[in-house]
Structure 1
Amino acid sequence: MTDFDWTREQFDLPDGMIYLNGNSLGPMPRASVPAMTSFLNDEWRTELIKGWNTKNWFMQTNTLGDRVGRLIGAPEGTTVVGDTLSIKVFQAVASGMAMVPERKVVLSDNGNFPTDLYMVEGLMKLKDAGYELRAPDPEEVMENITEEVGVVMLTEVDYRTGRRHDMKAVIEKAHAVGAVVVWDLAHSAGAVPVDVQGTDVDFAIGCTYKYLNGGPGAPAFIYVAPRLLDTVEPFLSGWYGHEAPFAFDTDYRPMPNKIERMRIGTPSIASFALLSVALDIWDQVDMEEVHAKAVELSELFIREVEARCPGLVLVSPRDPQVRGSHVSFAFEHGYAAMQALIADNVIGDFRAPNVMRFGITPLFVNEADIIGAVDKLEDILKQERWKEDRFQKRSLVT
C-alpha cells in the first residue's frame, strides 16, 4: 500500500508553500542534493572517463528506462531514457512514417501540445514527400482515423483541460485500418495508470520532469513495442544506438532487436543521477493507488472551487475517469488571478487564453493543501486583489 505521508516527506518543498504545479515541474526530492554531491565527488571526480564502465554510465539509458517503463506497463527492455521530449516525438513519428511509407497523412488533434505539432511540421518539410498533418477537435479524432492515415500522434492527457483520450479504442481503430499510433505520455506517466503492453501501443514517449520529479530538463523516454524492436527504423541514427558503437564504423547499423537502437547521442549522466533518486520514490508506489488518491483530491478541489469561487468555470471533464491528474478552470482574468495566488504562495499555472491550471499530485499534496489553496483563491476573488497592477504584467514564462 502506498504511504502518502511517507512520500510527502521525501520532497523538499519551501515552508508554507502549497505546490499545485507538479504537472509542469515536479518538486525536488530531498535525496537530490546528496545524490548530486555523490555524483560529483564519488563518480565524475574520482572515476573520470572510467565511470562509463565502473559506474555503468553507458547503460543507464536502459536501467533507468526500465524503471520508468514499470510506471507505464512496459516490459523490461522496451524503454530507454535520453534526449528531450521534442526529439523523441520526432524520432517516434519518423519511425511510424517509415512503417507505412505509402500513407501521407499524420493525424493529431488541435488540443495537442504545440511542440508535438511543430516537430511533425518540421519532419514533413524535411521529407518533402507530400505529407499532410490533420488536427481536428479532440472529440473528432476517432471519426478521422481512416485508411488514409499513416500515423496517429496523440497526447493521452490534454495539457490544458486534462481530458483523456480512450487509448485502447484509438489503438484498436487505428490498427484496424493499418495505421501506427504514437502516444505522448507527458501528462500520463506518474499521473494515471497506463498499460502500453496491454493496450498494444506501438510507440510511446514522455518526459520525466513533470510528475516523475527528475528536475528541470530531465531526460525524456521512448517505448517501442517488443514486436517492432527488430524492424523499427531509427530515423535519428546516432552512435549510441549503433550495433557496435566502439567499432567506429563509418556506416550506421542499428542495434538488432533491442531498444538500444532508439538511443541517439551521449546522454547527461548528471541528469540521470537526479532522475534515479526521484525514481527511488516511485519504486515504492502503486499507480492505481496514486490515481485513486488524485481523483479523491481533485473531486474535493472541484467541489470547493465551485462552491466558493464564483466566476470560475470548470473546463476539465467532470468525470474523473476521463480526466488526468490536473484540474483546469476558465476565468476571464485568469492570468492576473494566478499571479495573485502565486504571490500568496499557492503555485499553479496559466494557459492561454484564460485557463487556470492546478496539478493534483498526491505524492506531496494532501487534503489540507486543497482546502488551503481554495481559501486563498476565494479571498483573492472576494477582495478582487487580482486587479492590482503588479499582477497584470506578463512574465516570460506563464
Structure 2
Amino acid sequence: MTATTVQLKHEVKDLSLAPLGKQRIDWAGREMPVLKQIQERFGREKPFAGIRLVACCHVTTETAHLAIALKAGGADAMLIASNPLSTQDDVAACLVADYGIPVFAFKGEDNATYHRHVQIALDHKPNIIIDDGSDVTATLIQERQHQIPDIIGTTEETTTGIVRLQAMFKDGVLTFPAMNVNDAETKHFFDNRYGTGQSTLDGIIRATNILLAGKTVVVAGYGWCGKGTAMRARGMGANVIVTEINPVKAIEATMDGFRVMPMAEAAPLADIFITVTGNKHIIRSEHFQDMKDGAIVCNSGHFDIEIDLKTLESMASEIRTVRPFTQEYRLKSGKSVVVLGEGRLINLAAAEGHPSAVMDMSFANQALACEYLVKNKGKLAPGLHSIPAELDGEIAALKLKAMGINIDTLTAEQVEYMNSWTSGT
C-alpha cells in the first residue's frame, strides 16, 4: 500500500450522482420501517461510540440505510463493495457527499481494485467487520494477524460466507466470534427465498427482455435461494427443473412439484439455467456442449465461479455483447451460449437486488448483531454464533407492527400447559 492510497477518503465513480442517490435512498426507506426504528434508537443510545466498523456489502439503497443507522449509533464506519457489479454508483456518491461515510466502490471495478479496497478497509483497523462472503475476514486472518486483537467480532450475511467461516474455525484460525446473520429466521426465510426469487427473475428479464412463460428453467440448488427462485419461475409460467446433490432437498423439490434430475440430463432440455449453490463449476464444459443453441446461463449464488467461464471462453470462437450484461459465446460447434452479468449475481448485476422490504429485516439483523457483539465483548467464544432468538423475534414483531398486523398471545393457561409434562390429553 502506498501512502497516497491509505490517505484516500473515498473512491466512487462520480460525486455529482449524489442527488439521484439521495432520492433513491429515500424511496427505499419507505419500505424499511424496522431498520428506521433501530436507527432512531441507535441515535439516542450510541451503542457504537468509539467503534471502528467496516462493512463489505453490496452498495445499494438498502445497504445505505444500514450504513446510516450504524453511523447514527456512533460508529466510525467505512463501506466497500462485496461484488464488482453490484454497486449502485449514485448511492455510493450520496453516502460520501450527504452522510460523510467513506465509500470505496464503483460498478465494474476489476478484481485488483476490489482487493485493494479490502486492504483499505483493513487499514481502517476495524473492531467489527460486516462481511458478505467473508473476504475481509479471510484477508485479515491470512495477511493481517497483528490486527486480530483489535477485532470484537464479525457478522456474515451469506451462505457462502458461513461455509468459509466454518472452514476457518475447523482449521483453528477463526479466533474471534462471528455472528451467523444468514441463518436468522427473519433473514433466510425472507431474504433468501422471497428476495432472491423475485430479484433473480427481475435481473434475467431486464438483461434479456424474454418471456418466461413456457420456457424450461433449470435451478441448480434447492436451498432457500433455490426454493425462492424455483417458486417464482413457476409462478411466471416456466417449467422448472431442479438439480441437487442433497437427497433430502431433492425429495423436498420433488414433493414441491418440480422435476429433479442431474445437470447432465437437464442440460439439453432447458432454455435458462440459474445457479444458486455457493459451489464452483456447477455448469461446466460437458454441460455447455449439450445445451440448446442460444441457451441462457446465469448465476445468483455469491461468486461467479459457479459457472466455468474460463472453459466456456476456451470453447468459444467468438464472444460478443448483444445487450447490456448479456454476452453471447459462439462455440466452435456453431451453437451459442448466452451468459448474463458476467456470471456474477444477476439480481445485482442487471437489476437492483432484493426489494427494500426484504432487506429491512436482513439489515436489522446485521445492525442488532453488531450491537450484540459490542454488548458481549470478551464474553463470546471464538467461532460461529446464531442470532439470539429474542433478537429474531424482536425484528419479526417490529415488522408486523409496521405492517399493521396483530397476532394472538398465549393465555396463562396455555403457557402453563406448554411448560408442563403432567398435563396430558
Please report the TM-score for the alignment, with normalisation by the length of structure 2. 0.29
Please report the TM-score for the alignment, with normalisation by the length of structure 1. 0.30
